[in-house]
Amino acid sequence: MRVMVTGCAGFIGSHLTESLLADGFEVLGIDCFNSNYARADKLENLRRARDFDAFDFVPVDLGRGDLADLVADVEVVYHLAGEPGVRSSWGGTFSTYLHNNVLATQQLLEALKGWPGKRLVNASSSSVYGDAERLPTGEDVLPRPFSPYGVTKLAAEQLATLYHGNFDVPTVSLRYFSVYGPRQRPDMGINKFCRAVIEDRPILVFGDGTQTRDFTYVADIVAATRAAADSEAAVGNVYNVGGGSRVSVNEIIALLQDHTGRAIKTEHRPVQDGDVQDTGSDSSRAARDLGFSPKTPVHQGVIAEFEWLSEELRHSRRQLIPA
């Protein structure tokens, strides 16, 4: 089977691409290399995928449309492309979020409208809930985004739902909860914490560190995403995908301290606009319809990311040393 992965050079997209290639799929990878972090890092994310003859890469801005030829020869579109980040979605950058999250999704759906049976698996976010009225949060809780980013992810979800309802495009949306692991974006919390520890700098904490997240390891996200392409019960629905336990920022810092045996310093700043106090996923529907069961506990996953980043930084330093 030939499938498409949009955002294939990103954190989650590159892991999904490798997983599919390893299992014998042909993958058409799409990425526009948006400027949220270094192009070189994204190219490095694709290094293993490029070893496969079954991987084709096309640099495309999905928001510009004319996507019919791209979807013509694929059976499933895994739509992970988008503009990420809560804190950076305010002000003048909002137009970029509209383009990369809303318009890009609409253009893909328009292209798929002419091809009955081609499924879209849409990567959404727990940010659609904002300060959720109930924890753990089920899909029946009213979404109340607390950031412009969350607004655009909810809009993309709604587009997927209405194209399913009006044009029978088989869509599934997955609300990812705080994904982490090797290749995590450098602007995300656990990556920042690990980097600060490796470089012997204080960890910058926004708020008092008691805020919690339902951290979800990237391999578990990949498993749920692939399952969403196969489950007939999933078509037309939205699912939470969470790691299964809420962990505070302070607990993550303590975990890193235990692993390294170092006393870790912190510096505190005010809570940032758009940040919420807690997230927690009720993923029981994903368990029922997708067979989703997270395998990686936080203490293992954080150490895996720490060791990956340590090696990446060692490699970078080696590259800087003259021969």
Tokens of 97: 């979020």
Is 2-177+218-242+280-294 a CATH 3.40.50.720 domain? Answer: yes
Provide DSSP, 157-211. Answer: HHHHHHHHHHH---EEEEEE-SEESTT--TTSHHHHHHHHHHTT-PEEEESSS--
- C-alpha distances (whole Å) from 118 to each of 17, 139, 171, 228 are 18, 25, 9, 13
**How many angstroms separate the CA atoms of 293 and 132, rounded?**
23
The pLDDT assigned to 323 comes to 40
d(CA 197, CA 297): 21
At residue 315, the pLDDT reads: 84
Segments making up each domain of the chain, as ranges? 2-177+218-242+280-294
pLDDT of residue 284: 98
**Residue 319: per-residue pLDDT:** 57
How would you classify residue 59: left for phi > 0, otherwise alpha for psi between -120 and 50, otherwise beta?
A: beta
H helices of the chain, where? 11-22, 39-45, 68-71, 94-97, 104-113, 148-167, 189-198, 218-230, 249-260, 284-290, 298-320
pLDDT by 10s per residue, the chain, length 323: 999 999 999 999 999 999 999 999 999 999 999 988 899 999 999 999 999 999 999 999 999 999 999 999 999 999 999 999 999 999 999 999 999 999 999 999 999 998 999 999 999 999 999 999 999 999 999 999 999 999 999 999 999 999 999 999 999 999 999 999 999 999 999 999 999 999 999 999 999 999 999 999 999 999 999 999 999 999 999 999 999 999 999 999 999 999 999 999 999 999 999 999 999 999 999 999 999 999 999 999 999 999 999 999 998 775 555 44
Residues facing residue 216 across a β-bridge: 179
Which are the catalytic amino acids? 149
